A and B are shown apart, each in its own frame.
Chain A
């Protein structure tokens, strides 16, 4: 029963067996739940059984639901607060640390270190920085004779505070991605620029920036997708409060599904999240395609 020909050995159905273990878990626990969730979003359903088909009523209800719209707004706001700062700071760090000194290596390690902590450790740390009684910042305010600010219980400060925490937590990943983009530039390019007595600014504008630009766009899209999924920071630090001012989409889905057991409705909200993430992940690809067409049009 030995394999009769080389062709058969590399082409037969039998080879599918190697991928089958993964494919079955993948379909069972990711693809099927996604499709079943889309179906569920068209039903009125609670966790105790009892489903009936209502087509798009859940979606219509979402857009009349103040709490949902507030959560959607909070998520968009949170992405708007975190992603630009993250990208800018990470880029500045990558540009400063793209060299072979010991200090740069140490700094790179420190910047990424906070990213390996879990969200629950993150919130333990930051609560004791931010709370008005006994927090690190309130100690600082005391020294400067200022009044401590209730960062987490004031509607105006709560989202920005969560954004600061998140930036502190997430700088490592974009920095590493930018560094790896910067290291793709051959040294000889910079050496040639130095021979031509190019100014640092023109080196940055003509060599460095074009080299990292694709990474910047990719990282921005990826971070948008990631920050739309924010959950632990508000759930643990503020429970979405005060007055829902820090409740993002995922916390809304969690509360609707697992506290109110309104799972058809929560599934509809989940699809909105999925759609948002799909859109931000597709934007760079569509953008590249459009830019390509634009360039071709200009050249003609």
Chain B
């Protein structure tokens, strides 16, 4: 019977561990929301805050008046939207070529692409910055979008996806003398929709949250992405807005990604587990 008791102890430990982790994960988030609902005068007083208010939505009201914040939000939407479209288009075409077609050196080229997975963005930054400087493209949407399209992860995921489609799907079409592009467009691409969704959402989050490249490329505040703008906001909030407003900004900046995450959780998980096949 000691085995039963042993199992109970394990069960108890497991729940205790989960409860502790749950609190540790949620507490900082709850604290942020809590601060965002307090008025700035209370926050600046340095005295311990009472849990029982007073609460206010004033900080969020303040945000609605903030034009720059909306501009940053818009920039992020443009950059992330086009990044997703670009990554999906380039990766699907390349994935079709590598996964389904043959051409001279195709395996060598695929290996050459996969090597890129080991190159961190940080170690190419100086010369990448230089490329965009000589073109005078810094502080443009194009500059914010293009580097994201050079990442090989999408090609890897799409090549695996195209390869996994049963052989012979395209035979009938080929007998009808359909061109390779028509076979791609009409026959194979519709089969990859779930993988497109996973890659698309993953790319969206990656692009939305990117801090490193916008920090270097977009130096004019009107070209900041929301993520970069949140960095500017937290280094000079004291003189401009006040902490309550900053916390409300953090909540508002975090909300879109959290909503996307909750809505598309399955796709995100399958994009991540797709990567391990490497």
A residues near B (Cβ < 8 Å) are 2-3, 6, 9-19, 21-23, 25-26, 28-34, 36-37, 40, 89, 92-93, 96-97, 103, 107, 109-114, 116-121, 123-129, 133-134, 136, 139, 142, 168, 171, 173, 176-177, 180, 199-200, 215, 218, 225, 228-229, 231-232, 236, 250, 253-254, 257-258, 263, 266-267, 270-271, 273-274, 277-278, 281
Asked whether B93 lies within 8 Å of A118 as measured between CB atoms, the reply is no
A116 to B228, CA, bound (A): 16
> Given A177-B272, A180-B276, A274-B120, are A19 and B43 also a contact pair (CB < 8 Å)?
no
A124 to B233, CA, bound (A): 9
Min CB gap A34→B, angstroms: 5
A134 to B49, CA, bound (A): 8
Residues of B within 8 A of A250 (CB): 122
Of the residues B91, B109, B212, B234, contact of A123 by C-beta under 8 Å: B234
Asked whether A281 lies within 8 Å of B25 as measured between CB atoms, the reply is no
Residues of B within 8 A of A22 (CB): 90-91, 93-94, 113, 149, 155
Residues of A within 8 A of B18 (CB): 93, 96-97, 103, 107
A92 to B93, CA, bound (A): 40
Asked whether B126 lies within 8 Å of A267 as measured between CB atoms, the reply is yes
> Given A19-B94, A96-B18, are A119 and B209 also a contact pair (CB < 8 Å)?
yes
Min CB gap A286→B, angstroms: 14
The answer to whether the Cβ of B35 comes within 8 Å of any Cβ in the partner chain is: yes
A40 to B27, CA, bound (A): 47
Min CB gap A62→B, angstroms: 14
Residues of B within 8 A of A171 (CB): 25
Residues of A within 8 A of B216 (CB): 258
> Given A18-B96, A114-B25, are A253 and B122 also a contact pair (CB < 8 Å)?
yes
Min CB gap B166→A, angstroms: 16
Asked whether B150 lies within 8 Å of A133 as measured between CB atoms, the reply is no
Asked whether A114 lies within 8 Å of B235 as measured between CB atoms, the reply is no
Of the residues A2, A15, A128, contact of B180 by C-beta under 8 Å: A15
Residues of A within 8 A of B174 (CB): 6, 9
Asked whether A23 lies within 8 Å of B43 as measured between CB atoms, the reply is no
> Given A30-B119, A273-B123, are A118 and B257 also a contact pair (CB < 8 Å)?
yes
A152 to B8, CA, bound (A): 41
User: Would you list which residues of chain B between 98 and 154 have a CB under 8 Å from chain A?
Assistant: 98, 101-104, 106, 109, 113, 116, 118-131, 146-147, 149-152
In the complex, what residue of chain A is closest to B256 when comparing beta carbons?
A116
Residue total for B at the interface (Cβ-Cβ under 8 A): 96
Residues of B within 8 A of A96 (CB): 14, 17-18
Asked whether B94 lies within 8 Å of A10 as measured between CB atoms, the reply is no
Min CB gap B133→A, angstroms: 8
Residues of A within 8 A of B48 (CB): 139, 142
Asked whether A232 lies within 8 Å of B211 as measured between CB atoms, the reply is yes
User: Would you list which residues of chain B between 193 and 211 have a CB under 8 Å from chain A?
Assistant: 205, 208-209, 211
Min CB gap B158→A, angstroms: 10
Asked whether B184 lies within 8 Å of A176 as measured between CB atoms, the reply is no
Besides A18-B184, A19-B98, A218-B276, 15 new A-B residue pairs in contact (Cβ under 8 A), listed by A number: A15-B97, A15-B180, A22-B91, A25-B90, A25-B149, A34-B119, A92-B17, A96-B18, A114-B29, A118-B227, A125-B28, A127-B234, A134-B49, A253-B125, A273-B123
The answer to whether the Cβ of B64 comes within 8 Å of any Cβ in the partner chain is: no
Kindly list the 5 A-B residue pairs having the minimum CB-CB distance in the complex, ordered from nearest.
Answer: A120-B230, A18-B97, A33-B124, A118-B209, A29-B150
Residues of B within 8 A of A109 (CB): 262, 265
Residues of B within 8 A of A126 (CB): 28
Min CB gap B248→A, angstroms: 10
> Given A12-B103, A25-B90, A274-B120, are A19 and B109 also a contact pair (CB < 8 Å)?
yes
Min CB gap A283→B, angstroms: 12
User: Would you list which residues of chain B between 228 and 272 have a CB under 8 Å from chain A?
Assistant: 228, 230-231, 233-235, 243, 246-247, 249-250, 253-254, 257-258, 260-262, 265, 268-269, 272
The answer to whether the Cβ of B68 comes within 8 Å of any Cβ in the partner chain is: no
User: Would you list which residues of chain B between 62 and 112 have a CB under 8 Å from chain A?
Assistant: 89-91, 93-94, 96-98, 101-104, 106, 109
